Amino acid sequence: MTTEPIHLEVRSITKSFYGVAAIDSVDFDLRGGEIHGLLGENGAGKSTLCSVLSGLYRPDSGSVSIDGHELQFRSPQDAASAGIGMVYQHFRLVDSFTVAQNIVLGLRKGQRPKSIRQVETMVSDLADEYGLHVDPTAPIWQLSVGEQQRVEILKQLFRGAKILILDEPTAVLAPQETDRLFEAVETMVAKEHAVVLVSHKMAETMANTDRITVLQRGRNAGSVRTGDTGPADVARMMFGDAKAAERTTIAGPDEVGDPVLTLSNVSVLADKGMTAVDDVSLTVRRGEVVGIAGVAGNGQRELQEAIAGLRPTTSGTIDINGTDCTSTGPKGTMRAGLAYVPEDRLGVGLAPGLPLEHNIALKNHDRAPHSRKGILSTSSIEETTNRLVEDFDVRGNRKGMRVSLMSGGNLQKAILARELTEAHDVLLAAAPTRGLDMAAAAAVRTHIINERADDRGVLVFSEDLDEVIHMSDVVLVMFKGRIVGRFVRDEIDVDRIGLLMTGSQDEEAPADASEASIVLADRVDNERPAAETPPSTIAGAAS
Amino acid sequence: MQKRPRLHLRLLAALLLAFALVAAACGSDDTTESTTETDTSTEAEATTEEAEADDAEADDTETADDGADFSDLKVVMILDGSAEDGGWNTTHLNSGRKMEAAFPGMDFSYVEEIEPGQPATNAFQDAVDAGADLVIGTTFYQFDMIDVAAENPDVYFLTWAGFEPQDNVGHFTQATEDGRYMDGIVAGSLTESNIIGYPVGFPFEEVNRALNAFTLGAQEVNPDVEVRAVYLNTWFDPAIEQQAAEALANAGADVIAHEVGSQVYATVMAERGGYVIGYTNDWSDFEPEAWASSFLLDWSTYYIEQVEAILADEFVPGNSYGGLAEGWIDFAPYGPAVTDEILALIDERKQGIIDGTFDMFAGPIFDNQGNEVIPEGETIEFADRNACCMWLVDGIVGEIPAE
Amino acid sequence: MTSLIRVEPRGHAGSWVRFGVPALALLFALALGGGILAIAGNNPFEAYRTMFDASLNGWSAMSRTLALATPLILTGLAAAVAFQMRVYNIGGEGQLYLGAIAASWVGLYLPETTPMVLMLGAMLIAGALAGAFWALLAAIPKAYFNADEIITTLMLNFVALSLMNYLIFGSQSFWRDPRRPVPGGKRLPENAILPSLSGRLHFGIIIAVVAAVVLWWILRRTSWGFQIRTIGDSPRAASYAGMSVKLKTLGVLAVSGALAAIAGVSEVSGVSKGLEPRAIATEIGFTGIIIAVVARSNPLGVVPVAVFLAAIATAGSRLQSIGIAVEVVFLLQGLIFLTVTAGEFFVSNRVRFERTAEAEQPGDSSPTTELPAGAT
């Protein structure tokens, strides 16, 4: 054991995928004895950085060094032997094995104690030492999620990790379990371990870290001592400079038309039966782009699916262009005039194993001119496909090739081509540019914004705040299944949006936001034109 | 009567065989080892080593002690199961070998594992194409070979349990009841609880007839005996058979006879200290203590008669029904518990059937519903027995399931 | 550093791969089989010559092969149409029995003088409906309660077998011929028998081939088929596009059951000419599943695969008659079929050896590909 606390330095790491930099010249500094928050929006590069640190990816350039020695990780094993342990959000445990068996799983002969009894004793001691109590003889399937997480942490400690990277550790935990986790983290830090807390939750990061590094779009947005800063500064670092975003905003039409999509008090359940969308009301009118900003997992997906008719609502009504589509199913919403670009391109928006023609005709194959009396016209489908490929600049297709072999940008253009050329009055687009390169993203945005000029309504969901601000006439903020803020163009306040997205109130909010309860008296109702509801009336406790 | 399970996929079986590649390849040299030894003649055993080598020319050089040369005579036997099943098909093959021995030089061959339906039709056609003079089908292949027989009037066919008349086709069915009566005598003499279990497959005439004969035999030595018939509604299912055997044993049966079925009956009876009566199988070595008796079949008399008739150009088509008198029925060695007194009685009854002095179906016979089915002074003629029985004699506990 | 074997679908197989690989596989199988035959003491050349003569050489051999292939094509199609939607109908066997039962009932019930076209038409329709009904018994719980169709269709096979056995062996039913010493079905009248085309080859082969073409056309050229294929590829994309997965589940299983049942009609009317359980219950339905898998659920692929399988099977008794032990015959048959179909795997997939650390490849087709992680 070194007397000096461990010191990890990351210098100028760059890692690209298909020519797009996921992280670009990122620096990161970590010392034993500290809890270091790694913050950023979805896609900001947090996961990529962690994957580089844990040896899963090899960086294109830059260096990682520990205590001054530069290291090359060729595999997760290399990183583990350097003392870096990663605890993923999705556990990597074998359900039918016991805790002790899982902990030694994957260790080579020499690294592994001879008997499982010995392992159990060692695990037991380790658990006592760090306050990570779990029965080493219990099979994983009997354990709660919190206990399973403890097993993952113990597994890393057992392997001698001095640096623990916890990826969104609280996402799966109940509040009491969260408290216990942070107690254990404190113990580790007291023993000179370094802990990286990866999160996009402002409050818990502010409350539990010593330092925070913020990534934005793959670059360093700043590194600060937690005590020296407030949530507003951090939010600004996360979501960028408001002024810059506003400058790129596209001017909207002079006036908006009739409502084409109206949601009244809609509630929706998630797959697991919890309320995912809680009493949401909103209106989209002709000639208007309404953007919904929010961190992923706050009910956006369920709301999209409910609007599209793919998920039943538990209460409220959904009206599309004067037709009640609350329970008509996807066919009904299509007929009523909804075009839908779903979040999952492959698997929902497109049938991945089938060719482009098939996917272009996916929704209208059963109508003229694509089919008459149930018989398809392949020539009509082919013509349409060729035309749309031309018009929307979809590239990389070969006849008969499964669409999954095409790139993300071309897939998205293909979906847009299909959705926008079919008669419709309102476009629902979810994460329309996620994962696309700059050119493709710009093309997609242009297509969406052009809808407005055609006097249609657009509802766009995106985790990219800049994008939402850039495209929208009205920005709504979604947090924990509710609309917690509404901003009209010209009044957009990026700092406030950032705070609302992370569940923080505003810059006056106490750093320990987990205990702050922020109250929103009445729901946001964006039918009142240009009336911004004060964010000070937001309901719901931040976690 | 013979039925076999068809719960295997041939190709998957072949895949497994592929893994057992070497074993299978080598195994072909000693496939005949497991040929069942019954009390067949020594000639039969002498020829069993020629299982695969049915090369007509090879036999040419060493023909005939008595000068007769039958090397122009080609006989093909078609078996629906494995020639080594130790039961139905093995019996047929052994009978065929006896026939082969009776006609020195005869080109006798067989194909096995031929499913009814198109594969069987093809096998019959193949046999004809290969120049067979006589083709023997050992299961119910009637309708699989009917067209082949019609198209090839110069070739003779024998097929088990057929009935559609054709000029060049002989049908043969065994009088199971002749053997079953003797087995009934054994069972009746051995039971102490006076309860005999008798699980069977499906309730149709031949099965019921055998069951009736068995019961009548048991009643001759033990008037109080009760035969509990259980229809399993399956041809072959050791799990169900096991349950049936145990249920019968629990109900007090100390002797189990059965129809078709697997060795589980012998196993269960051995565990319970009871006795098992086989069905055309000799299990005297398998569970010697529990073993009581079983009738066996021997088709060689019939085969030889037909070959002789063909050679003499005197072939008579139509059905042959044969039992003890015709030499079609034989018996496995009796178990140690069977007394000499009973053996003597059995010999007497056998002789009586052969002489025509004993008729098991002589009236009056009552069914188990209390009806007189065969009045005093009447019987079922041997030739008409095939149509019997859709009733069960008094003393059988059990009913033919409703239609 | 470890090496990985990675299997990935080929986007497109060149003609060399398409024809060369199966040809090589066949040669390989023949060489391996030849070795086995030699070890077993048989002449491989004589054996292959016999196989060829028995199943492919000349019209009479071909007609035997095609006759055997007829029901296999139909049950292969039955499995294939369900697989197109990733519904696993393992119940072709039982649906085939139901088809045979219903068709033989119609054939025996209608007056013998009924014109052949009407008689056979009625038998086909009745058989198809019975098979569809039997399949729906599994389809309805699948569509509405998400009951696993693999289990239900499989169990219904046993019920169907028991039913058929009961009708012939267990009761004096309408189907059973009372004259017979061993229970069996009544013979169908002349007009209820599919006409022979050549020797054992009957009109059923035309029904089977037409069914394959029609099914291919339906799957490729109708909106129903379009939806089946969409659901098969991605049920979520299908729901997104407003397709009713439930109704299609019912429809596709009904069609699948009807096709398997037509195999039963063809067997009962063209081959056994009466309800003969032992000639009908010969695993034609199960074999159809293998055929559909090998044909990759393509109806037009089912035909050659079924014929190939039938050609191998047809030669069986002839091989025995030249003195090859039955075990060796089965081994040889299985070996050839499996090797050639395994070759098919290499036509449609590419196998690559690579190192884990450099596991990067173009396209987002593979789930193992690294992606800029979206959700942190």
pLDDT per residue over A22-51, tens digit each?
Answer: 888 999 999 889 999 998 876 678 888 988
Whether residue C282 and residue B6 make contact (CB cut-off 8 A), yes or no, is yes
In a domain, C67, yes or no: yes
Q: What is the pLDDT of residue B53?
A: 40
CB nearest C67 (choices: B21, B118, B139): B118
3-state class (DSSP) for residue A79? helix
Question: Residues A109, A141: one domain?
Answer: yes
pLDDT (tens digit per residue) in C112-150: 999 999 999 999 999 999 999 999 999 999 999 999 999
In a domain, A236, yes or no: no
DSSP C262: H
Q: How confident is the model at residue A511 (pLDDT cuts 50, 70, 90)?
A: very low
Q: How confident is the model at residue C10 (pLDDT cuts 50, 70, 90)?
A: low
- Token pair 């003088």 in the structure block, residue: C113
Q: What is the pLDDT of residue C252?
A: 97
- For C290, the domain range is 43-323
Question: Residues A97, A131: one domain?
Answer: yes
A435-450 exposure pattern, b = at least 16 Cβ within 10 A, e = fewer: bbeeebbebbbebbbe
DSSP A223: E
Q: What is the pLDDT of residue C151?
A: 95
Quick one: how far is CA A25 from the chain centroid? Answer: 22
Query: In this prediction, what percent of chain A has a pLDDT beyond 90?
Result: 37
Q: What is the pLDDT of residue C6?
A: 61
Q: How confident is the model at residue C8 (pLDDT cuts 50, 70, 90)?
A: low
Specify whether the CB–CB gap between A363 and A374 falls below 8 A.
no
DSSP A446: H
In a domain, C132, yes or no: yes
Chains B and A, touching by 3 or more CB pairs within 8 angstroms? no
Q: How confident is the model at residue B66 (pLDDT cuts 50, 70, 90)?
A: low
Query: In this prediction, what percent of chain B has a pLDDT beyond 70?
Result: 83
C273-309 exposure pattern, b = at least 16 Cβ within 10 A, e = fewer: bbbbbbbbbbbbbbbbbbbbbbbbbbbbbbbebbbbb
pLDDT (tens digit per residue) in A44-55: 788 889 889 988
Last residue of a domain, one of A229, A259, A287: A229
CB nearest C237 (choices: A17, A296, A350): A350
Q: How confident is the model at residue C199 (pLDDT cuts 50, 70, 90)?
A: confident
Mean pLDDT along residues C21-30: 86
Q: How confident is the model at residue A272 (pLDDT cuts 50, 70, 90)?
A: confident
Specify whether the CB–CB gap between B149 and B166 falls below 8 A.
yes
Specify whether the CB–CB gap between B80 and B114 falls below 8 A.
yes
Lowest mean pLDDT among A478-482, B50-54, B273-277, C349-353: B50-54
Q: Could you please report the per-residue DSSP string of B315-368?
A: ---EEEEE-TTTT-EEEPPPPTTS-HHHHHHHHHHHHHHHHT---TTPSPEEBT
Identify which has the larger pLDDT, C136 or B46.
Answer: C136
pLDDT (tens digit per residue) in C29-72: 899 999 999 999 999 999 999 999 999 999 989 999 999 999 99
Question: Residues A371, A324: one domain?
Answer: no
Question: Residues A379, A486: one domain?
Answer: no
pLDDT (tens digit per residue) in A362-393: 999 988 899 999 999 999 999 999 999 999 98
pLDDT (tens digit per residue) in C313-334: 999 888 998 889 999 999 999 9
Q: How confident is the model at residue A453 (pLDDT cuts 50, 70, 90)?
A: confident
Helices (H), chain C: 15, 21-39, 44-55, 59-84, 92-109, 116-145, 149-165, 204-221, 223-233, 235-240, 245-270, 277-280, 284-294, 299-314, 316-321, 326-348
Question: Residues A404, A427: one domain?
Answer: no
Contacts of C362 in chain A (CB under 8 A): 18
Question: Residues A359, A331: one domain?
Answer: no
Question: Residues A43, A150: one domain?
Answer: yes
> How big is the B-C interface in CB pairs under 8 Å?
182
For the cut 50, the answer to whether the pLDDT of residue B375 exceeds it is yes
Q: Of A381, A447, A383, which Cα lies nearest the Cα of A416?
A: A447
Q: What is the pLDDT of residue A56?
A: 85
Mutation target for C interface from A365, A373, A406: give the one with most C CBs within 10 A. A365
Q: What is the pLDDT of residue B3?
A: 42
For the cut 70, the answer to whether the pLDDT of residue A510 exceeds it is no
Q: What is the pLDDT of residue A112?
A: 78
In a domain, C249, yes or no: yes
Question: Residues A363, A323: one domain?
Answer: no
Q: What is the pLDDT of residue B206?
A: 86
Sign of CA dihedral A140, A141, A142, A146: positive
Q: How confident is the model at residue C13 (pLDDT cuts 50, 70, 90)?
A: low
In a domain, A511, yes or no: yes
Which residues neighbour A404 within 8 Å (Cβ) at sequence distance 6 or greater? A346, A350, A352, A353, C363, C364, C365
Whether residue C237 and residue A348 make contact (CB cut-off 8 A), yes or no, is yes
For residue A284, give the H/E element and its range.
strand A275-285
Q: What is the pLDDT of residue A298?
A: 86
The angle subtended at Cα B20 by Cα B15 and Cα B22, nearest 5°, is: 130
- Per the structure, the count of domains in chain A is 3
Mutation target for B interface from C72, C201, C326: give the one with most B CBs within 10 A. C326
A 396-425 near C (Cβ less than 8 A):
398, 400-402, 404-408
- Token pair 């005869």 in the structure block, residue: B106
For residue A368, give the H/E element and its range.
none
Cα-flanking dihedrals φ and ψ of residue A133, to 5°? -75, 125
What is the C-alpha separation between B157 and A253, in angstroms, rounded? 95
Mutation target for C interface from A196, A401, A404: give the one with most C CBs within 10 A. A404
In a domain, C26, yes or no: no
Q: How far is B335 from chain C (nearest CA, A)?
A: 31
User: The CATH number of the domain where A517 resides is what?
Assistant: 3.40.50.300
- Per the structure, the count of domains in chain C is 1
Q: What is the pLDDT of residue B399?
A: 84
Length of chain C: 376
Burial of C351 per CB tally in 10 Å (0-12, 13-18, 19+): exposed
In a domain, C73, yes or no: yes
Q: Residue B107's closest chain C neighbor by CA?
A: C321
3-state class (DSSP) for residue C186? coil
Q: How far is C313 from chain B (nearest CA, A)?
A: 8
| Joined tokens for residue B62 | 């060493």
Domains located in chain B, CATH noted: 67-174+297-330 (3.40.50.2300), 176-294+332-397 (3.40.50.2300)
Specify whether the CB–CB gap between B297 and B278 falls below 8 A.
no
Q: What is the pLDDT of residue C4?
A: 55
Q: What is the pLDDT of residue A180?
A: 87
Last residue of a domain, one of A377, A412, A447: A412
Sign of CA dihedral C324, C328, C330, C334: negative
A5-14, A248-257, B346-355, C367-376 — most confident range:
B346-355
Mean pLDDT along residues B357-380: 92
User: The CATH number of the domain where C166 resides is what?
Assistant: 1.10.3470
Last residue of a domain, one of A198, A229, A260: A229
In a domain, C346, yes or no: no
Contacts of C367 in chain A (CB under 8 A): none
In a domain, C86, yes or no: yes
Length of chain B: 403
- For A361, the domain range is 353-412
Averaged confidence pLDDT in chain A = 83
CB nearest A167 (choices: C230, C374, C376): C376
pLDDT (tens digit per residue) in B184-216: 999 999 999 999 999 988 888 888 999 999 999
| Joined tokens for residue C201 | 């080859």
What is the C-alpha separation between C177 and A423, in angstroms, rounded? 66
Residue A154 carries which side chain, given as an amino acid letter?
Answer: L
Q: How many CB atoms lie within 10 A of CB C3?
A: 9
Q: What is the pLDDT of residue B29?
A: 39
For the cut 50, the answer to whether the pLDDT of residue A537 exceeds it is no
In A116-172 the beta strands, taken as DSSP E runs, fall at: 163-167
For the cut 60, the answer to whether the pLDDT of residue C3 exceeds it is no
Q: How confident is the model at residue A410 (pLDDT cuts 50, 70, 90)?
A: confident
Mean pLDDT along residues B296-310: 95
| Joined tokens for residue A11 | 């210098």
